[in-house]
Chain A
């Protein structure tokens, strides 16, 4: 069996998790701030990928980032390569899956920090940003990391959106989930079983880690 799809899956999942960590934590901070107008609407928009069919999500991505879209056209004119049917497209597909999980966990974790601690930091001279970075964020770290692990597991296994947006190009965008489907279709069950075992093992290990992290008190 070829290990390429597995390597590609891990590479894409790592990048997608990294992007989700930054974007997801920033969005969670925004959503947990009561003074941000329309935050519940934003929350629904960010969470929607959890419940929408992958084909619907894929459709939206194709429409907004395809070669004929403004964004897709601009990207192609700058880099010389399109977003869709490339690894960049696969990363975007994986990020769409991971982001809601990261934002949900991070928001819950940030909101569970006693607001008096943040106020105490402010009275001690901290700006809102410093209070966030030195008090709220470290105290929410356990929940945020758990969300990232969940997001990583989710992006590692993405199938539908990746297929729609990045295609199933062996060696380029064929991730493990897609390769498993291909192997089953081609009666290469041994190859499928190898990848299934690795993905299952990783998922179980991640869930075990998440349980450990979230059971421990955040302090």
Chain B
């Protein structure tokens, strides 16, 4: 199965992101406080933002190479991207949202079948003909996931898509995403700044701080207080920082 190699450098004003890591099939958590460069990194992988320097490749396919002047367009990368705001098209029904990324030229019946199957797989078949403004929080997340999975992505990028959900709903979605990613052996990056989410879903963790990778390794090691993974730079200072990040999302607090 293909893995994604990321080496990207980008300067914006005073802030520089300079990251190098590998994403294997399974869920890699991009973990760090706000402003650590997580979203910029994701944008560079998707082709939304162009690195100043570096190379990004999926298996043998080069997506970006500053030396070889390669920069594959966003639409050609086949990236399943679930944005923090979900970015569902408000003027289209759930079914039309999911169908949007399917190859054009497929027969109507094939498209309908695939859309229905994907919505049902994510347990939102009942909203197929409704538009996003009428969805509940959980339904919107599921439709956004269905839309991303429907294009049969080469890699899945999840930018804090669960942050607005309450704990029960989040757990349910974690299980569904876990199941989908495992069954497709899909390299997946999940951005989160919640330790609980990172622990629950992460196979592998890449810890960012101030635009740099400060630790990388199996989730159980990087997120535990135990011995650090071999080869990882010392991070005790950063751990203290992360200890300050909320362990519960605002939605978890009793209202």
Contacts and interface: CB of A to CB of B under 8 A. Distances in A.
Contacts of B87: 114, 116-117, 119-120
Contacts of A123: 46, 48, 74-75, 77, 79-81, 101
Contact of B75 (A116, A117, A126, A138): A126
A27 to B, nearest CB: 23
Given A121-B100, A123-B79, A124-B101, 20 more contacts: A116-B83, A116-B87, A117-B87, A117-B89, A119-B48, A119-B81, A119-B87, A120-B83, A122-B48, A123-B46, A123-B74, A123-B81, A124-B75, A124-B100, A125-B75, A125-B78, A126-B75, A134-B100, A135-B89, A138-B91
B130 to A, nearest CB: 13
Interface of B: 46, 48, 74-75, 77-81, 83, 85, 87-91, 100-101, 103, 133, 147, 151
B147 A124 contact: yes
Contacts of B48: 119, 122-123
Main secondary structure of the interface of A (DSSP, over half): helix
Instruction: Classify the interface of chain B: helix, strand, loop or mixed.
Output: loop
- State which size class the interface on A falls in: 10 to 19
A127 interface: yes
A143 to B, nearest CB: 14
A219 B101 contact: no
Contacts of A125: 75, 78, 101, 103, 151
A139 interface: yes
Contacts, number: 53
A120 B75 contact: no
Interface of A: 114, 116-117, 119-127, 134-135, 138-139, 219
B79 A116 contact: no
B151 A120 contact: no
B94 to A, nearest CB: 14
A114 B75 CA distance: 18
B90 A219 contact: yes
Given A116-B83, A122-B74, A124-B147, A139 B101 contact: no
A125 B100 CA distance: 9
A105 to B, nearest CB: 19
A119 B90 contact: no
A213 to B, nearest CB: 15
Nearest to A219: B90
A219 B77 CA distance: 29
A219 B46 contact: no
Contacts of A134: 100
A119 B74 contact: yes
A135 B87 CA distance: 11
20 contacts: A116-B83, A116-B87, A120-B83, A120-B87, A120-B88, A121-B100, A122-B74, A122-B75, A123-B48, A123-B75, A123-B101, A124-B75, A124-B151, A125-B78, A125-B151, A126-B100, A134-B100, A139-B90, A139-B91, A219-B133
